[in-house]
Structure 1
């Protein structure tokens, strides 16, 4: 696979971080974004001053405002835009894609309950064997500055092994799996559990409560994976447990911070404003609520997070609901 140019669709913190992380492996890295101010700062100052102002970007990273030009230029394409915007963005793609396309976004589309790989196949003329998902414990800032990171790349194993060789760097390691569904579910649902653990910490409930939420949250993630046809064991790896632990405990987690603010008494609107960037779990929990209603699956943590965000339930009452549930045997 001859790969000279990488295209990243999405000029937020995550897209920029991936562009920077992989920049040493390509002659040219193209970042597409909507915000001309961001693109100008990338091109003129080698910085994404809005989302990653502290990182000096490699000289071969170029901002591009024409989506189809950016996509047609890439030998590998990475999608890193907010999940609920992916359909709108990809509907503008006018030509078939004949190169690997990797989703690095995390979430479930609310209207359709589709995963990102499914949205890509809905909208883009591309061989399904070229569609991949990249997920795992990876804060954008740490990736951008070159701190050691390991993630999962899911999709066709043969092509995935080639991508693994092309993308691996000294500080960014990819493991491969064919379970794209399990990887995408892990990346989506962990954000909701991280809101719950953040709220618990904001209430001052201690380490025991946080650990319990992470563990039972992992079980909820495996149940959702089964519904979509993914493998529960995938959720015990980097894209599941690894990403969950990071997002539920790390100080750079937007979802955790949002939950902390709710636990401290801020309203949903105040907490979102304070975080200042998209909190993917806020949208994903809407999708989980629909999945719960459609399948009758029990997702108690996700259910109370939904009620806190959308129905006015207080975090204190949410705790009482979870602790007051009928005792049962522990299952996995």
Structure 2
């Protein structure tokens, strides 16, 4: 581990926050896992596993659990923010007074805030002290697979190359490999928008539209994501990397992916709200869909797949009608 980092706090007790805590504890760091809910923190501490979001993986002795912000933010050398995107602002406002400006933050949650159209790192930067370094860690990373120590590769993105490298070294081990990148907005837009495409992939599964349809979705989905990202100043190469096509493929094919699974339920007849109620996890893609559309409209970017997903979520089109609308668009070059 980097000698200057000894204590790391993970904020958020969901599956990704928990698995980050496990990875970092595995590396020998003293890890504090913070929950916003005292009852959940007590359950985590008592049973030494996350029975709600990541059952079956016991906490080692170097993971402590708390619901007290003062304890969680007293002495970490790095903070991992695993708070779902739509709750980042409200939670960080609660925590900001305990945060030291010199302590860097790495965001692992993916999404776009509906009200502001900001990605996770931008939200955190807007709440915290000016000068706080904020990075993103993103890529194809299904939490249960990571907890089982199955091989996984992701990207640490930061404007400061040294911070990205330090995060890379802190997290990397023989089953979790981290690359670095300086394209923070590209990495974050990839992570947020792929959840929308994952909903579409699930809808395709739900109506049994076939493998050809899913292949077309993933291929054109990458184009759509890159189109938006480049309009926001991202690098084209980011979208063909781990944070882009890598994360998209994993999310769209994994049987346990939250967004794909929610899309499948919608394809089989559930409403978006029923799909949300049918899981204990946060389905970021549902809220993100409309945020992506607003962002695309703001920058004059055409996103027909995202528009079709929004129509299904809003129940202004059935899944088959949405697919038909995409298939019968004006013919053009690839």
Same fold (TM over 0.5): yes
The Cα shift of 1:27 comes to 3.8
Q: Please name the residue that 1:76 is paired with.
A: 78
The Cα shift of 1:123 comes to 0.9
Give the alignment's TM-score, normalised by structure 1.
0.96
- Tell me if structure 2 keeps the 8 A contact 1:137–1:246: yes
One of 249, 252, 257 as aligned partner of 1:253: 257
- Tell me if structure 1 keeps the 8 A contact 2:228–2:296: no
Aligned CA RMSD, in angstroms, stands at 1.4
- Tell me if structure 2 keeps the 8 A contact 1:285–1:305: yes
4+ aligned runs moved over 4 Å, structure 1: none
One of 98, 101, 112 as aligned partner of 1:108: 112
Contiguous gaps of at least 5 residues in structure 2: none
- Tell me if structure 2 keeps the 8 A contact 1:154–1:160: yes
How many Å separate the matches in 1 of 2:273 and 2:167? 41
Deviation string, structure 1 residues 48-80 (Cα, Å, up to 9, x no partner): 111112111212111111124312321111000
How many residues are matched? 329
Contiguous gaps of at least 5 residues in structure 1: none
Q: Please name the residue that 1:307 is paired with.
A: 311
1:228 aligned to 2:232? yes
Deviation string, structure 1 residues 125-165 (Cα, Å, up to 9, x no partner): 1535x211000000111111211111000012122222222
Give the alignment's TM-score, normalised by structure 2.
0.95
How many Å separate the matches in 2 of 1:182 and 1:270? 32
1:267 aligned to 2:263? no
1:1-332 paired onto structure 2 within 5 Å: 2-92=4-94, 93-94=96-97, 95-127=99-131, 130-155=133-158, 156-330=160-334
- Tell me if structure 2 keeps the 8 A contact 1:3–1:26: no
- Tell me if structure 2 keeps the 8 A contact 1:32–1:64: yes
How many Å separate the matches in 2 of 1:175 and 1:27? 20
